[in-house]
Structure 1
Amino acid sequence: MSGSAPDSAIPRRCLVTGANRGLGLEFVRQLLARGDRVIATSRHPGRAHALNQLAGQNPGRLHVLPLDVAEPKTHAELARELPLVTEGDGIDLLINNAGVLHSGERFGHVAAAQLDDSLRTNAAGPFLITQALAPHLAEGAKVANLSSMLGSIASVDGFHTPTYAISKAAQNMATVLLAQALRERGIAVIALHPGWVQTDMGGKGAQVTPADSARGLLGVIDSVGIADSGRFIDWQGNALPW
């Protein structure tokens, strides 16, 4: 991969969606530890207790803003509010982390409402948020879309989490299209598989801690350059099949 690690003397401005728990919260912790400035979003900021505690410990470096990735009107509201928080500076790193997984789905009983919710949150959400925030992305910024190996069509080996898998496959196409749209501004857009992570979504049997996954993913993000835009990569830096 063709990029280089960020200069620690120059704090990046980062935006992380779905940051109230799990991997999103861990991204916020590690970005703050690296000295970056972070805008963290949550559907219900008032209930994001761990996130608000972090904000209290990092005054001026962490801002918590409302965002529902499945509701485009909140994308526009976030875009309007950003310049007030960033003082007009662009976002250097956008991590589209928010997602939803409906468990227990069986063929013959997959609900249309669950498929619609998965597509709006996991596929349309990252695409529309990136489109809405594009004017606020710095030249040469990076966009990281949290995908999943379950969205790899080439890797399907059974009828597993269908609405999640379909939506993540659609999100992968959105990543490739965004990479094309933003390439002329030097903005790299990548799809990332975080591993099977020990979060509410990943479940108790998961093998990777949020800390290890976030650390690995941030290392991958650091290493990618514009030549890598549009790639599908896992948390250890391995290329994945579409």
Structure 2
Amino acid sequence: MDTPRSLVTGANRGLGLEFVRQLLARGGQVVATCRHPGKATALNALAGEHPGRLYVLPLDVADPRAIAELARELPLLDHAARLDLLVNCAGVLHSGERFGSVAAATLEDSFRTNAMGPLLLTQALAPWLRDGARVANLSSVLGSIASVNRFGTPSYNLSKAAQNMATALLAQALAPRGIVVLALHPGWAQTAMGGERATVPVADAVAGLLRVIDAAGSDDSGSFRDWRGQPLPW
């Protein structure tokens, strides 16, 4: 059997970096992307520990030209290889937003990174996804319209709700090839984005998400679940 191959965006820190660690521990090959590979100290250290199994490439998911360049570079690593898993983990959260002063530039940046990026990247890499592959879009319960109970982080919430729609649409587009697309909430993970009060260790969140991804079947494609596999309201 071929060595499983995954691609993880936002792989320089937090959940993305932990996805890389755990996928390597499984014996797979990983393509890890981030905006500034030269500054990704921990990721580059992992690459040194796993020669031939971890490739680090530049990608700004908010830039369609960067997505196109990655799609051109990926087959150069191994023309015959296909992706078994795509983890759209790169994201941005702008803190400090208040009603009355939400900025158009902040909204645009959030949409480009959190919603447009995963959609366009999945579209661009679709020819390199193996039939039956999985696409995991790292979403958030903050993107759940049914769960809104306050005004907070509007650009993040709006863009994650849009990303959830992208997940549902991608699930339809890729269904004929048996590719499962999931919107996944990692819990309140202990990352820089999660903040000091976060409750879920990063390693636990990623291990749980991988279990959900592994267990998902075609009937689960297009669904919204948390790191324990529980369905979330849209």
SS of the aligned residue for 2:102 comes to coil
Aligned residues: 234
Matched, 1:146 2:138: yes
* Letter matched to residue 182 of structure 2: I
In structure 2, C-alpha distance between the alignment counterparts of 1:232 and 1:86, rounded to whole Å: 33
Structure 1: segments with no counterpart, 5+ residues: 1-8
Alignment partner of 1:128 out of 120, 127, 131: 120
SS of the aligned residue for 2:30 comes to strand
Corresponding position of 1:48: 40
Q: CA deviation at 1:225?
A: 1.3
Alignment partner of 1:191 out of 168, 174, 183: 183
Alignment partner of 1:35 out of 15, 18, 27: 27
Q: CA deviation at 1:10?
A: 5.2
Corresponding position of 2:97: 105
Alignment partner of 1:209 out of 176, 201, 209: 201
Matched, 1:93 2:79: no
Corresponding position of 2:219: 227
Q: CA deviation at 1:84?
A: 1.3
Corresponding position of 1:180: 172
Deviations 1:144-193 (A, max 9, x none): 00000000000000001100000000000000000000000000001000
Alignment partner of 1:167 out of 134, 151, 159: 159
SS of the aligned residue for 1:138 comes to strand
Taking every aligned residue pair, what percent have the same amino acid on both sides?
A: 70
Q: CA deviation at 1:11?
A: 2.9
In structure 2, C-alpha distance between the alignment counterparts of 1:141 and 1:75, rounded to whole Å: 20
Q: CA deviation at 1:121?
A: 0.3
Q: CA deviation at 1:12?
A: 1.1
In structure 2, C-alpha distance between the alignment counterparts of 1:80 and 1:125, rounded to whole Å: 17
Counterparts of residues 8-87 of structure 1 (less than 5 Å): 11-87=3-79
* Cα RMSD (Å): 0.8
Larger RCO, structure (CA 8 Å, separation 6 or more): 1
* Letter matched to residue 132 of structure 1: A
In structure 1, C-alpha distance between the alignment counterparts of 2:8 and 2:199, rounded to whole Å: 23
Structure 2: segments with no counterpart, 5+ residues: none
* Letter matched to residue 187 of structure 1: I
SS of the aligned residue for 1:32 comes to helix
* Letter matched to residue 55 of structure 1: A
The TM-score normalised by the length of structure 2 is: 0.99
Q: CA deviation at 1:93?
A: 0.1
Segments of 4+ moved more than 3 angstroms: none
* Letter matched to residue 220 of structure 1: V
* Letter matched to residue 213 of structure 1: A
In structure 1, C-alpha distance between the alignment counterparts of 2:192 and 2:80, rounded to whole Å: 36
In structure 2, C-alpha distance between the alignment counterparts of 1:86 and 1:14, rounded to whole Å: 13
The TM-score normalised by the length of structure 1 is: 0.95
